[in-house]
Amino acid sequence: MNLDRALAALPRAYPGPGGAVAVLRDGEVLARHAWGWANAERRIAFTPNTLFRMCSITKQFTCAALLDAFPDPTVLDAAVRDRLPLLDLPPPTILDLCHNQSGLRDYWAVAMLLGAPVESAFGDHEAARLIGATRSLHFTPGTRFSYVNQNFRLLSDIAQDRLGRDFAEILRARIFDRVGMDSAILAADTRAMPDGTEGYEGNPIAGFRAAENRIVWTGDAGLGASLNDMIAWERYIDASRDDAGSLYGRLSGPVTFADRSPAAYGFGLGRSMEFGRAVIGHGGALRGWRSHRLYVPAERISVVVMFNHLSNAAAAALDVLAAMLGETRPSPDRTLPTPAWTGSYIEPETGLAARVEAADPGHVRLRFGHSAELLDLRADGEAGGTTRLRFTDNSLWMDRRGENLSSPLRPADGSAAMDAAGRYRCAELDAELTVVDAGGVLYGAFSGFLGQGRMELLEPIGKDMWALPCPRALDHTPPGDWTLAFQRDDRGTIDGATVGCWLARGLSYRRMASGRL
């Protein structure tokens, strides 16, 4: 049977200490399987009852609890304003938070600008200080999509204040007990799980080691649940599939941007097409943990994959779904040549670098978001995936429909000069960027109230434009390369820079008077 073969292949195709998978159809469990070790050092087996960090899958549960408590969540709009006291623009609404359309910069990314060391602590105090200091947005609320973890921390904090109960109690009373998620908990402190389960970094060649996490998650990524808990959630989803007014029906309904164009994300759930079918789901990731769950309404199929290591749980879930549907994962045409439009560009609205590179046959690699994307080459000269690249009217266009963004890219012509060394200050963040010429090579690092970040080798992009890599961060993956776009005064001297990444962009830095190094 295709499903049996797909399930048997998972431990080898996605190797690591342990994992679990469940498959349901018509609300009935077809597969409930766990393998390997929840804690390899203590030899604790991974079972369907093992507690697991579900990470960002938490977001849909946060929204579910909010909708259950406040059928009209817009009554909470004023509470959003109250938590952003320094914001000098119209604030996002509660629904903007739910749909990742708030315009806020992601606080895990901004933490790196504030000098957070890779494995430093980040708790309630740090989160409140960073969120409360927000003075600007990187787009007008409702007009774009940007993944922002603190949107959902704000939701859970607001729910706690309005309901007068701890968020863990709210989840238990409004979701877990009703659904039958008997062992699910809010495991906000990421240092340890109560049953000893560990998340691991590494790979089979270099070996695996327990991943260190010192973040406090709440409504953004704090859910701890077993495979059996997630099966209960999937059965609830299928049982209420025909009721648009049900809790999950409201969570998974259509969402739009302010201009009425359809949005691919809402209430902590992504909407996509896979194998010609509409799919609703979400992934979860933290250092040492990867998970993914999806539901195909037309087929009444649910798939849940959980790894306590860094393998691609989303790809594994699609492998299992393909087996259920009798489909095959599409492959690119490997005979197509690399297009002539590879190179470095600037996306004008965000000011971020978009670098298009040759990859393996049939693909190009796009570096724009928080991680590189492999795009399939097409016979019509385009390249596509989540992002679409097309050469039209002598311009390379980038379409990111999920973000409501479509724009011509501007070539990043010229060479990056070496005179950028110096100290730069961002008044909005009260933070610094330091660029050092270390033996004819530029390095850069950020610093602020969270500490002093490590020096990283800068990568030249184009004229007065560099990338500052962020290969590790507080969150499960780094925020991506930071684009450093330096500006010059009338005399041709660099006097400032605009710094940004996909998660946090448009921040202005001024060169300090004593900043030349």
- Active site positions, annotated: 56, 59
Task: Give the span between the Cα atoms of 23 and 12, in whole angstroms.
Answer: 19
Residues contacting residue 135 through CB under 8 Å, at least 6 positions apart: 86, 87, 88, 428
Structure tokens, 71: 């059928």
Q: Interior CA angle at 437 toward 431 and 440, to 5°?
A: 160
8 A C-beta contact, residue 283 and residue 272: no
Helix ranges (H only) for 252-346 are: 313-325
8 A C-beta contact, residue 456 and residue 408: no
Task: Give the span between the Cα atoms of 447 and 83, in whole angstroms.
Answer: 25
50: β partners: none
Structure tokens, 272: 């996509």
CA dihedral 316, 177, 301, 5 (to 10 degrees): 40
Nearest residue to 167 via CA among 292, 100, 69: 69
Task: Give the span between the Cα atoms of 212 and 199, in whole angstroms.
Answer: 8
Alpha-carbon separation of residue 137 from 429, 479, 503 (angstroms): 13, 17, 11
Q: Interior CA angle at 240 toward 235 and 241, to 5°?
A: 95
To which H or E segment does residue 374 belong? strand 373-377
Q: What is the 3-state secondary structure (H, E, C) of 205-265?
A: CCEEEECCCCEECCCCCCEEECHHHHHHHHHHHHHCCCCCCCHHHHHCCCEECCCCCEECE
Alpha-carbon separation of residue 149 from 125, 239, 257 (angstroms): 16, 30, 19
To which H or E segment does residue 303 belong? strand 301-307
Residues contacting residue 107 through CB under 8 Å, at least 6 positions apart: 127, 130, 131, 148, 149, 150, 153
Alpha-carbon separation of residue 264 from 32, 267, 349 (angstroms): 30, 11, 20
Structure tokens, 498: 């605009």
